[in-house]
Structure 1
Amino acid sequence: MDGDRVNRPQAIIDAHLHLFDDRANAYSVFEAPDATFEALVGDYSALPHRYAFEHYSADTDSRIVEGIVWHEFMSRDPAREVNWAQRLADSLPVPMSIVAMVDFLDPRLDERLDTYRTLPNVTAVRQHLAWDEVNPQRRMAARPDFLRDEAWRRGLGRLRDHDFRCGLEVFGPQMCDLVEVVHLYPDIEFTLALMGWPLDLGPAGFASWKENIRNLAQCPNVCASLSAIECIFGMDWTIETVRPWLLTAIEHFGPGRCMIGSHLPISRLSFGFTRLYDAYDTILAPFSDEERDQIFRTTARDWFRVGLSSSKRG
């Protein structure tokens, strides 16, 4: 590894994080223990009810943060939360893009999307569709078949009238259906969240996941978000466990379509930001400086238009 690379802080754009304040927005996960959330992230009793930018800045002081991508945090009132996020973005010292919650079966979907369009920092929307056939507590959707539902697909098609990227959070076994949806809508750009969130981490699961990653990577309208490894691989994840999955995603998508996120403050429940990004540095050491810069910074900047207002969207 280049010795200078070790000594200089890595400039990043954080592709996936949460900032929230339960005094401003209502979150059911803080009102009472949430079995589904706990099944996804483990014991979250240490998770703060308020995580502000100053907390994030303190956690990330080992890197140079040039921009962030805020993701909704399952508020009881997503519209209120995203308006709060826009006011936050207006006040921050770094540019912040916003990923807002959406439900493509919402009868007021067009109204919701029109509202989001008035907020200059909203550049993407996402829907939680993860459904574990085995464990009923690991189900973030109301039912398992949204990706195959014609009415849901028609709702997704409404994005053609709006300049938003679309994140669909699924588990690995659902990726076959996701591939079909992505093929149906080549004019909509999709974010693959959490590397497709594999559930089976054994050899058979890896082979199945790799095939789906290969199929998705053949679609030019998909970009991969490499984040939340503590949710995928457990709070005691190791570099050796993460490495083959991360490198496989990058091998198929390429550095120009892969981006890294901290998943703060959830990742604080594991080893925290610095150890996480040190691990990313170690895994990505074989890549060139340009490729690393794409994965750590420019892919997220360009995909989520970090620093660009709605009037500048292409």
Structure 2
Amino acid sequence: MIPADESWAIVDTHQHLQSLSDASYPWLDPERPEPLEGDLGPIRRDYLPADYRRDMEGLGVVKTVHIQNGRNPYDPVDETRWLSALARKEGMPDAIVAYADLAAPDVERVLEAHAGFPRVRGIRQILNWHDEPRLRSAPSPDLMESPQWRRGFARLAPLGLSFDLQLYWPQMDMALALARAFPDTAIVLEHFGIVADRGPEGVAAWQAAISRLAQAPNVSVKLCGFGLGARAWTPEDTLPLLHYTLKAFGPTRTMVGTNIPVDLLFATPKKVVSIIHAVAMELSHDERIALLRSNAERFYRI
């Protein structure tokens, strides 16, 4: 049962909308090799505010942050235009994290265009690199160390933009160096670092890496994407990872999200929200509000 107390209200910092009927989403192409998420068939469809509201009814979500979803990637501002028009009509999302290739020659123009939309708060460029090609999203494992990419990254803070950081744990030390090189740029680690290998050695390596990354005060973290790398996840195997993450970053630098509709591949909306509440259960009243809502409101300025 979802608690009625308003201190349990959630800002969903990681949700997606999509309209395959009028745009290209290459990551959902059925000809693409099966990615980390597995078979994408069940979510290869339009997913609009009415769908999200239906799925999340009664689960206490009060605001949402839309994370770029790969719509027409060769025109990265198209998704921002579409979402902004949708938000004016539907009242959601409350904030937008847009896409830009920070190494692109025209990145400054793209970032300025995004920043011109009032709901845009940040940028995501997925940096995932894995030895297995189908699990890669970035062109190289060390893209964030490229001078050209860093020139684009340097433009974020002056434009008031944060960065949503998505990668695997072996890249976290590079991310720590990036955070220290740009202390004025607010960064949030997505999906608590994607624990794709949940065996003892994999978890131990992830723990060490995430503890080091948490040392950077300008890095926060999101508890979301519970099924990424563990499609049959259970509260028993996932809660310890979430508690470890919360302890590393503390309740003032941790946020929550659903990753819906992607996480519908692995769980019901109620199961997703229930594990979020399970993490918050042991916190004080004020810490619970910070984790579930106020950290996100501050970070994304909503």
Is TM (by shorter chain) over 0.5? yes
Cα distance in 2, alignment partners of residues 31 and 245 from structure 1:
32
Give, in whole Å, the separation in 2 of the partners of 1:299 and 1:160: 19
Give the 5 Å matches for 1:25-174. 25-35=23-33, 38-76=34-72, 77-93=75-91, 96-133=94-131, 135-174=132-171
1:311 maps to what in 2?
none
Distance 2:5 2:158 in 1: 43
Long gaps (5+) in structure 1: 307-314
Partner amino acid, structure 1, of 2:133: P
Residue segments in structure 2 that go unaligned for 5+ positions in a row: none
Aligned counterpart for 1:275 among listed residues 271, 275, 282: 271
CA drift of 1:157 comes to: 1.2
Residue of structure 2 in register with 1:309 after alignment: none
Residues 32-65 of structure 1: CA deviation (Å, up to 9, x unaligned):
3321xx3211111111421011110111112222
Shift of 1:7: 5.2
Residues 2-13 of structure 1: pairs in structure 2 closer than 5 A: 6=3, 8=5, 10-13=8-11
Is 1:187 matched with 2:184?
A: yes
Aligned-pair CA distance for 1:31: 4.2
Contact 1:25–1:80 (Cα < 8 Å) also in 2: no
Residue identity opposite 2:42 in structure 1:
A
1:261 to 2:238 alignment: no
Task: Report how far residue 94 of structure 1 moved.
Answer: 5.0
Q: 1:284 to 1:218 in 2, by over 3 A?
A: same
284, 289, 294: which one pairs with 1:288? 284
Identity of aligned residues (%): 29
The alpha carbon displacement at 1:8 in A equals: 4.6
The one-letter amino acid of 1:110's match is: E
One-letter amino acid of the structure 2 residue matched with residue 223 of structure 1 = S
Question: CA offset at residue 5 of structure 1?
Answer: 7.7
Q: Which amino acid aligns with 1:169?
A: Q
TM-score scaled by length of structure 2: 0.93
Match of 2:297 in 1: 301
Q: CA RMSD in A?
A: 1.8
1:23 aligns with 2:21: yes
Secondary structure in 1 matching 2:232:
coil
Tell me what 2:213 maps to: 216
Counterpart in the other structure of 1:205 = 202
Instruction: Say if 1:252 and 1:29 are closer, same or farther in 2 by CA, change over 3 A.
Output: closer
Decide whether the 8 Å contact of 1:193 with 1:225 is kept in 2: yes
**Letter paired with 1:277:** V
Aligned length: 299
Q: Report if the CA contact (8 A) 1:17-1:261 is conserved.
A: yes
How far 1:222 sits from its partner (Å)?
0.8
Cα distance change of structure 1 residues 88 and 171 upon mapping to structure 2, 3 Å threshold: same
The superposition leaves residues 245-277 of structure 1 with CA deviations (integer Å, 9 ceiling, x where unpaired) of 101111011111111101111111111211111
Q: Is the CA contact (8 Å cut-off) linking 1:179 and 1:216 kept in structure 2? A: yes
Residues 197 and 203, structure 2, Cα contact 8 Å, conserved in 1 = yes
The answer to whether the Cα contact below 8 Å between 1:239 and 1:283 also exists between their aligned partners in 2 is no
Q: Partners in 1 of 2:192 and 2:119 — Cα distance? A: 24
